[in-house]
Amino acid sequence: MRKGRKPRFAPAADVRGLPAREAGGRSGGPVPAADVRGFTIIEVLIVLVILSILAGLAQPRFHQVLLKARAAEVVGDMDVIQNAVREYQADHHQWPPDRNRGQIPPGLEDYLPGGFSFVADRYVLDYDNWAAMDGSFTVGVTVIPEEEELGLAVMDLLGSGVWRSGSKYSWVIEP
């Protein structure tokens, strides 16, 4: 430092009047620009790499959880139809007539919750009433998903009594 010039930043005194160096504390004045240190670009990049690795690990798990939630929604809808069909059969002593996929059989609307639809965002439901040659009937609910993996997840949740025919997954209500 040149003679006659004051230091750029004078150390502040503590409450007791001692200079900051003698008090063992920090100076209360501004910090010189050379002492301010931020993150380097390398440190920021390392953090970004670590975060992207963690996101890459979590993403497949998130996809599986989302798929199982969608499959549970489908199974729930199929269960609603199963209960409605059984109530209809108990009241009328016959099974509801078959309809095209996505359409509610006549008379079954009264047994379904208000606003219930056979057409959903990623799948279509179909009530099936299969007549055998001997006059017996087999009834079931079929789901036609947009994605095969949703259908397979539904089959996995339902377990027995389910079969696949192409892109259709059928669940037998009454054999």
Q: What is the pLDDT of residues 25-41, one digit of tens each?
A: 555 556 555 566 788 89
Has residue 27 been placed in a domain?
no
Residue 67 placed within a domain:
yes
Within-domain flag for 137: yes
Q: Taking 80 as the threshold, does the pLDDT of residue 95 lie above it?
A: yes
pLDDT, position 76: 93
User: Which residue range is the domain that position 102 belongs to?
Assistant: 61-174
Q: Which residues contact 168 (CB under 8 A, 6 or more apart)?
A: 126, 142, 143, 144, 151
Strand partners, 140: 128, 172
Please tell me the total count of domains within the chain.
1
| Higher-pLDDT residue of 7, 78 | 78
User: What is the pTM (predicted TM-score) of this model?
Assistant: 0.65
| pLDDT score at 13 | 53
Mean of per-residue pLDDT scores for the chain:
81
158 occurs within a structural domain: yes
The helix or strand, by DSSP H or E, that contains position 139, with its residue range, turns out to be: strand 137-145
* Domain annotation covers residue 162: yes
Residue 117: pLDDT band (50, 70, 90) is very high
Look at 129 and 50; give whichever has higher pLDDT.
50
* Any domain includes 97: yes
Residue 39, in any domain of the structure: no
Count other Cβ atoms within 10 Å, centred on residue 32.
9
Q: Establish if 153 belongs to a structural domain.
A: yes
